[in-house]
A and B are shown apart, each in its own frame.
Chain A
């Protein structure tokens, strides 16, 4: 693959000071995320909830592609399985919606792991095609008459909006936002831990050089399927959080176009750079609207042009901007 992350010399050299810049911006960003519902309308709060949902799904793809070097255009399938696991359990099983989140993770982990096994024989574009096949098959599987009793067929399922627990004086939208934020942050922390540990390094070793990885005693098959499983599990949780926030699941909400959008979000955020997931998510959630406001009739074309702009001007995505900003700030400080 070509879109491999590059550890830059500058970030490695400057050591402590770059740590301060990074920490300060992280804390600021976190503060904004926590305070946002206080200033926003319910609709905007809902939109930012969805932003977090897609950011989490992009993060999951980033672990798979950025981490282990495997392409996937099938993430929408895992997203759908997570969403349906949640909706079906709530509607037909009477399960508490919070409990459906770990269940969605488990179901998707198993699905992803099992899918990862045959995928071991494939790499590069062939793997992309195989996962694409999964994505195109999923909406039709969800429509199958055989499952209709549970899935609601083409109509899908509507669930009810959960209220804030313990009589907290916040609106349901605000509650769902904080719930999603808590899960997203926990997943983000877990993913960061993963990639900076023995398991994550084994995955990155496979991405960089499979033969050398195997000579270092890394079980290539195990870690490749594990990456698929973990990525699918996180995507599933994102799907379930999305289903809770939207209170509706239907097959056509999870077409391969969602997979493409997540892939685009990963590239725009910076492949292999986890913080970029939120920037990538913002791109796929808001930029189509921006494109539409520029030209109603040609919104698709405008969106396309914007994508091309990103590819040519900042090929390494949001990561490139972040590194540029960091270098600028440090440069100023250094000369002052």
Chain B
């Protein structure tokens, strides 16, 4: 899944390399709208995420970024519009099928299984790529052994990839915040997603950690072939690794295009000046 690096110099909105080759986008968000108590949190939002891209989703606080993620993982159901993953509507699927369809995510405020170990958290991330039943699990049939072996292997690989081996057996609640965020990332990778939704992964990290995170995200895309939709306030990070950027404000799409284009878009500049941007 290696693709040419985004070297966009034009200031105009551009299409991604895979779209230019005429491939269908991996994820299509089409006219999505949702309201809470009569107030629209998302209004008619449309954009595509092409295969193999890192797409940045930016916007001031309250713009609706997390709400959009929650629609993508079916925690919320949009009142309007549709969301397609590889041409299939995710709104027609039960909530727990979303992971198996290929959408993995992390949460803005780390949502780990806090009493369980790092390894168990990652094993649970692999729930949707394994199978099992209570009877086999209780009386140790061979089905249980196969599943456990698979999950152990997945956990080992991911802990290796994310430098989590030394803390594998520790309960996640005992780990520093930055490490917890890595565990959450590992848990999402365990389901072998096609697209990974990252909700402010740099939040609470120091300068060096943010830098390391940036190259990690690029490695996830390049080595694992996982498409990425990244919500982030850290503009330096978004602008350095995103192929495309979508900007939201008050639930509406404000701008879309190359990082350079969006950054210089007047609407975006105004929206950020109007709020306390980070």
Contacts and interface: CB of A to CB of B under 8 A. Distances in A.
Contacts of B130: 198
A217 B151 contact: no
Interface in B126-147: 127-128, 130, 132-134, 137-140, 144, 147
Nearest to A5: B115
Interface in B115-170: 115-117, 120, 123-125, 127-128, 130, 132-134, 137-140, 144, 147-148, 151, 169-170
A13 B134 CA distance: 30
Interface string A197-219: 11111101100110111111111
Nearest to A202: B127
A258 B239 CA distance: 63
Interface residue range, chain A: 35 or more
Contacts of A199: 132-134, 137
Contacts of A205: 113, 116, 124, 127
Given A12-B117, A212-B107, A193 B132 contact: no
Main secondary structure on chain A at its contact with chain B?
A: helix
A191 B139 CA distance: 9
A5 B117 CA distance: 12
Contact of B115 (A7, A193, A198, A219): A7
Given A202-B127, A215-B99, A216-B191, A194 B115 contact: no
B65 interface: no
B97 interface: yes
Nearest to B107: A212
A201 B120 contact: yes
A194 B171 contact: no
B148 A215 contact: no
Interface string B75-100: 10000000000000000001111111
B148 A198 contact: yes
Residue in A5, A211, A226 with the greatest tally of chain B CB atoms within 10 Å = A211
B103 to A, nearest CB: 9
Contacts of B174: 9
A6 interface: yes
Given A6-B171, A220-B96, A215 B140 contact: no
Given A211-B111, A214-B75, A215-B75, A193 B138 contact: yes
Interface string A59-78: 00000000000000000000
A110 interface: no
Nearest to B111: A212
B114 interface: yes
B115 A218 contact: no
A97 to B, nearest CB: 23
Contacts of B221: none
B113 A209 contact: yes
Interface string A5-22: 111110011010000000
B169 to A, nearest CB: 5
B96 A219 contact: yes
A206 B191 CA distance: 17
Interface in A213-239: 213-220, 226, 230
Contacts of B151: 198
3 nearest A-B pairs in the assembled complex, by CB-CB distance? A217-B99, A217-B128, A197-B137
Interface of B: 73, 75, 94-100, 105, 107, 111-117, 120, 123-125, 127-128, 130, 132-134, 137-140, 144, 147-148, 151, 169-171, 174, 187, 191
14 contacts: A13-B169, A197-B147, A198-B127, A201-B116, A205-B116, A205-B127, A209-B114, A211-B75, A211-B111, A214-B95, A214-B96, A216-B128, A217-B97, A217-B100
